[in-house]
Each structure stands twice: as C-alpha cells, then as structure tokens.
Amino acid sequence: MNLLKSILSSLGKDAAKEVEERELELLQANVSLTTIERLKEELKGKKNLKEVLKDLLKSGKFEGTPVVLFVGTNGSGKTTAIAKLAKWYMDRGVHVIVAAADTFRAGSIEQLEEWRERIGFDLVKYHYGADPAAVAYEAVKRRKGVVLIDTAGRQETRRSLMEELKKIKRVVKPDYTVMVVDATQGVAALEQVRKFDEEVGIDGFIVTKLDVDEKGGLILSLCVETGKPVFFVSYGQGPDDFSPFNPEEYLDNLL
Ligand SMILES: Nc1nc2c(ncn2[C@@H]2O[C@H](COP(=O)(O)OP(=O)(O)O)[C@@H](O)[C@H]2O)c(=O)[nH]1
Ligand SMILES: [Mg+2]
C-alpha cells in the first residue's frame, strides 16, 4: 500500500521539483551542476522525472558493419572496449579487424595481441612510431566486416594528437567516431569531451568503469550537455562486462 502510494505521488510530482529535491544525491552520483541547472529549467511543469529523463537519454546503435574510430584520453579504456566490442560482434558471427593505430604508447600493440589470442579477431599492426593513419588505412583495405581502430590517448603535445586523429579520419572516413569516457572521471571528463568534439568531431560515447562509479551520473550529463548518444557501457575487466546502453536500466539504478 505504501509502495503504491509513493508510486502514485511520484507520478504526480513536478519533475523539476524532484530534481531540486534530489540535487545533492545527483551531484554525489557525478551528474554535473550544469546538467542539474538545465534539468531544473527544462523540466518545469513536467511530470514523472523518470519518463522525461528517459527521453533525454539516447542509446546509440551502430548500423550495418561499420568502421569505428575510437578516441579518448589515456587510460579511459579504449583498447579494452575495442576487445569487448570485437567479441560482441564475433559472438554474432561478424568478422572483425582491429587496427593497432596506437603506435605511440609502449605496450599498446602487445595489449591488443593478448586480446587477439583470447578473442580471435584479426589484427593489423605495424611498429611503434608508424603512421597511425597508414595502419588504419590498411585495416580498412582488408575489411571483411567490422573495423575497429584503436588510437593513442596522449602525445608529446595535445595538438599533435588531435592532428593525428584528424588525419586518420580524413584517410579512412569512419562511419562512427566514438569517444571512450571513463565514468570515474566525473564532470572533469566533460571538458575533454568538448575538446575532442571541437577538434575531431564525435558521434557518441562508450562509457567505461561503471563497476567503479556505479551510479554513472556522467552518462546523464553527456546526453543532456551534448545531445549525443551512448552506444555501449563497460562495467569490469572481463570480456563480457559490456553491453549496449539501456536507458531504462540506467535510470532505475540512478534514481
Ligand atoms: N574496472 C574497470 N576497469 C576497466 C574498464 N575498462 C577498462 N578498464 C581498465 O582500465 C585500464 C586502461 O584501459 P585501456 O583499455 O588500456 O585504456 P586506453 O588507454 O584508453 O586504451 C586497464 O587497466 C583496463 O583493464 C571497466 O569497465 N572497468
Ligand atoms: Mg590503449
């Protein structure tokens, strides 16, 4: 009876007011202040917070057998997400080539070789210091299905990383450019997102480490502040700790 009452009362509740009441809770879950302020403005007069948030959250879907370029800062989880997405496609009978176009970070090629042994995707690799665009181009040339392009997260200078990513994009014209974002970075990640979007242009996100930042309020901020979708989420080190983003499940956990 109490449950029914609370459901009925939450249905009738003003969504903006509910955001206001839950402000601290949302901040603690790593939803940005900008997002909260925006929600308070935009949700005025609307009812049922969960329903209106569901409309703001976007779950992206890769159409067909795409070429996907992965970008993001060092340690955000690009290489791991690539291995998991490769497995996800291979479980569905799709051929996958991974391009080891992070030719900068020591160990990055070996990391992909280890994943290849476990998962069995095709790997195109050159050597450290090679032109990342050339590696990516070769992978696309050999394409039999999906192509996933790994990239470096950091260079001697930021500028050269952005130039490198732009060059890859020019040369291979990926179907999707996806930014991998570490949920534990919280609102600090939003600044990075703006930079990558301005410089390289991104189509959406894969959000990682949701096993560490369990509420993952960053996802709400990403959707509200960029209007771009989240394609997949990652929540662990295992190859199957990975799935398409499900807004409904996410909201049940956040609120
Ligand atoms: N707990 C946890 N760790 C992750 C997840 N995704 C990646 N990692 C770890 O984060 C670290 C950096 O990942 P990596 O894929 O090398 O990042 P990259 O530099 O962007 O390629 C590694 O130790 C990964 O095992 C995740 O969803 N949960
Ligand atoms: Mg990497």
Sketch out the chain's domains with CATH numbers.
2-56 (no CATH), 67-254 (3.40.50.300)
Q: Pick the residue whose CA is nearest to atom 12 on ligand 1.
A: 75
Instruction: Determine the residue of 69, 70, 76, 80 to mutate for testing ligand 1's pocket, defined as the one with the most ligand atoms within 8 A of the Cβ atom.
Output: 80
* Residue 1 scores a pLDDT above 60: no
- Model-wide pTM > 0.85: yes
> How does pLDDT run across 138-147, given as a tens digit for each residue?
999 999 999 9
> How does pLDDT run across 158-185, given as a tens digit for each residue?
668 999 999 999 999 999 999 999 999 9
Contacts of 12 (CB under 8 A, 6+ apart): 47
- How high does pLDDT run on average in the chain? 94
Q: Which pLDDT value is given to residue 9?
A: 59
Q: Which pLDDT value is given to residue 106?
A: 86
CB under 6 Å to ligand 1: residues? 72, 74-80, 153, 180, 208-209, 211-212, 234-237
**Percent of the chain with pLDDT strictly greater than 90:** 90
Q: Which pLDDT value is given to residue 232?
A: 98
